[in-house]
């Protein structure tokens, strides 16, 4: 059980005295021939380019459509170098990309008939050619959300399995260790009592891992009203559980991403209804110390009704930049997410915040710190959640490069006018 949560924190003005908010250097949209395109993950390559992965499919489409994984490579200015669409019949998607040397490991989910959904792993060469691909799973559904390069040169991927673990018809957390050729070394499942799924994973210390988990107890098919509690598991090198910490105050607590921090701890971001009227939710941030205990926790109150955080990066000065979403207008259809980027001090105090976007759903799903000290966000623009017969709308991959003020006066001149920010 987690300690009592703090009061909801008020949102300050765009920046407080002395704070240096990041500014947009460039923002680029990428459309795959008029299809609906939603980015899920971004990574910087050794030569400073960016690889973005996600899903592409027809629109409108609610169920039963042929979706594929989509991968693009762009240079450091956001210019497209190449794109690849991969998949078969059914709903296939790319969920995460990480580096394997100069190659890219892409993980996702693939419809494999007649065996439902299975985990999908691909190795992609720098020129975009497929080196190999594999699927993992049984006769039920498996979903993988993230892959981690382990300190020993192998990889771990996490997500949710129904085929393995406790055979009660519900999903369990799934953790698989793979060698560099994609062969399984070991596989573990973890049951927290209901519909469980791993959401994110980090290496911790020299031989341990921290895995974040969401557990749904009711209304699990709903996007807005599921009852969920969040946990993190500390694991040894073989995946055995050393410690479990659960956050179950209130009806909805969701962890999206965990990242390691330079003090030997970690930071977790997500959304919570601890201090909101359910099913509304607020942005939620949990900082762990070097013993994997809670050092501090912040809940930032809503600009709108539904807010939360997708990802976080630690900056060179030990501050944080959080990639979040905010429903800035409370429309009856709840279809107005906007980009929300938050700057936090190392102690979790909000230093600045920026929101921008259009009349539909614009979300920054993935964030990385680039080699030049900037931040790149990848997500989507113009996704539709209402009316139902228009879902998912004309969504596009959206990639944003943000920099500090020392270069903001130069980069917009080089790469085009930056979009106006609103606060």
* Domains assigned to the chain: 23-415 (2.120.10.30)
What is the Cα–Cα distance from 177 to 185, expressed in whole angstroms?
5
Record the tokens describing residue 48, joined without a space: 């400073």
pLDDT band at 303 (very low <50, low <70, confident <90, very high): low
- pLDDT value at residue 213: 98
Residue 41's pLDDT is what? Answer: 98
**Phi, psi (degrees; rounded to nearest 5) at 389:** -80, 5
pLDDT of residue 357: 85
Least confident of 117-121, 295-299, 383-387: 383-387
d(CA 308, CA 304): 10
What's the pLDDT tens digit per position in 69-106?
999 999 999 999 999 999 988 899 999 999 999 999 99
Element (H, E) at 406: helix 405-408
Across the range 377-381, mean pLDDT stands at: 97
User: Which residue is listed with tokens 């395109």?
Assistant: 37
Does 329 sit behind a cis peptide bond, omega within 30 degrees of 0 on the bond before it? no
Query: Taking 70 as the threshold, does the pLDDT of residue 18 lie above it?
Result: no
- pLDDT for residue 384: 86
By the 8 A CB rule, do 119 and 137 touch?
yes
Residue 332 has pLDDT above 70, yes or no: no
Distance CA 112, CA 109 (A): 9
Q: How confident is the model at residue 8 (pLDDT cuts 50, 70, 90)?
A: low
Mean pLDDT to the nearest integer, 127-140: 95
Find the angle CA(171)-CA(174)-CA(180) to the nearest 5 degrees: 150
DSSP E strands: which ranges in 191-348? 195-204, 208-218, 227-235, 241-247, 253-260, 266-272, 282-288, 294-300, 307-314, 320-327, 337-344
Residue 289 confidence (pLDDT): 98
Assign 389 a pLDDT band (cuts: 50, 70, 90).
confident
CA dihedral 335, 341, 347, 350 (to 10 degrees): -80
Query: Which strand ranges, in their side-by-side order, compose the sheet holding 36-44?
Result: 36-44, 50-57, 68-74, 80-86
* Percentage with pLDDT > 90 across the chain: 73
With H, G, I as helix, E, B as strand and everything else as coil, classify residue 209: strand
Does the pLDDT value for residue 57 go beyond 80?
yes
Report residue 391's pLDDT band, with 50, 70 and 90 as the boundaries.
confident
C-alpha dist (Å) from residue 18 to 21, 271, 298, 345, 369: 10, 28, 21, 12, 22
Does residue 7 have a pLDDT over 50? yes
Tens digit of each residue's pLDDT (9 = 90 or more) over 144-184: 999 999 999 999 999 999 999 987 778 999 999 999 999 99
| Percentage with pLDDT > 70 across the chain | 88
What integer pLDDT is reported at residue 1 of this predicted model? Answer: 40
pLDDT reported for residue 275: 86
Tell me: cis bond preceding 304? Omega within 30 of 0 counts. Answer: no
Supply φ then ψ for residue 406, to 5 degrees: -65, -20
**Nearest by Cα to 118 from 89, 93, 141, 90:** 141
Confidence of residue 276 (pLDDT cuts 50, 70, 90): confident
Q: Which has the higher per-residue pLDDT, 21 or 82?
A: 82
Q: Which two tokens stand for residue 194?
A: 């209901």
What is the pLDDT confidence band of residue 2, given thresholds at 50, 70 and 90?
very low
Q: What is the mean pLDDT of the chain?
A: 89
Of residues 338 and 100, more confidence is placed in 100
What does the pLDDT read at residue 22? 93
Report in angstroms the alpha-carbon separations of 202 from 258, 264, 289, 322, 375.
7, 12, 14, 17, 20
Report the pLDDT averaged over residues 208-235.
94
Q: Under a CB-based contact definition with an 8 Å cutoff, are residues 234 and 246 in contact?
A: no
Secondary structure (3-state) at 11: coil
pLDDT tens per residue across span 40-54: 999 999 999 999 999
Q: What is the reported pTM? A: 0.91
């Amino acid at each position: 059980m987690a300690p009592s949560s703090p009061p909801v924190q008020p949102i300050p003005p765009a920046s407080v005295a002395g704070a240096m908010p990041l500014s947009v250097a460039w923002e680029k949209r990428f459309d795959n021939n008029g299809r609906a395109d939603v980015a899920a993950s971004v990574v910087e390559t050794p030569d400073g380019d960016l690889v973005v992965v996600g899903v592409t499919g027809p629109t409108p489409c609610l169920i039963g459509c042929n979706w594929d994984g989509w991968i693009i490579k762009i240079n450091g200015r956001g210019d497209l170098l190449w794109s690849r669409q991969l998949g078969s019949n059914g709903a296939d998607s790319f969920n995460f990309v990480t580096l394997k040397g100069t190659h890219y490991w892409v993980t996702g989910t693939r419809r494999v008939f007649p065996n439902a959904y299975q985990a999908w792993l691909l190795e992609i060469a720098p020129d975009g050619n497929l080196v190999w691909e594999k699927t993992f799973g049984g006769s039920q559904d498996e979903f993988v959300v993230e892959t981690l390069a382990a300190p020993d040169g192998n990889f771990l991927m996490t997500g949710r399995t129904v085929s393995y673990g406790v055979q009660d018809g519900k999903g369990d957390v799934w953790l698989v260790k793979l060698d560099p050729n994609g062969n399984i070394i070991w596989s573990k499942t973890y049951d927290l009592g209901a519909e469980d799924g791993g959401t994110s994973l980090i290496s911790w210390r020299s031989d341990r891992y921290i895995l974040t988990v969401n557990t749904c107890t009711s209304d699990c098919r709903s996007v807005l009203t599921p009852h969920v509690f969040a946990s993190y598991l500390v694991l040894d090198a073989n995946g055995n559980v050393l410690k479990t910490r659960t956050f179950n105050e209130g009806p909805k607590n969701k962890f999206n991403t965990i990242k390691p921090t330079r003090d030997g701890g970690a930071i977790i971001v997500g959304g919570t209804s601890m201090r909101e009227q359910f099913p509304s939710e607020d942005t939620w941030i949990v900082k762990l110390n070097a013993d994997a205990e809670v050092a501090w926790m912040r809940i930032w109150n809503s600009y709108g009704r539904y807010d939360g955080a997708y990802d976080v990066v630690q900056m060179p000065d030990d501050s944080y930049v959080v990639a979040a979403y905010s429903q800035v207008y409370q429309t009856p259809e709840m279809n107005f997410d906007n980009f929300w980027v938050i700057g936090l001090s190392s102690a979790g105090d909000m230093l600045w915040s920026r929101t921008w976007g259009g009349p539909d759903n614009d979300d920054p799903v993935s964030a990385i710190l680039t080699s030049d000290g900037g931040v790149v966000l990848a997500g989507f623009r113009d996704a539709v959640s209402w009316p139902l017969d228009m879902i998912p709308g004309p969504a596009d991959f959206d990639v944003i490069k943000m920099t500090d003020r020392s270069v903001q006066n130069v980069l917009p001149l080089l790469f085009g006018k930056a979009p106006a920010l609103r606060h």
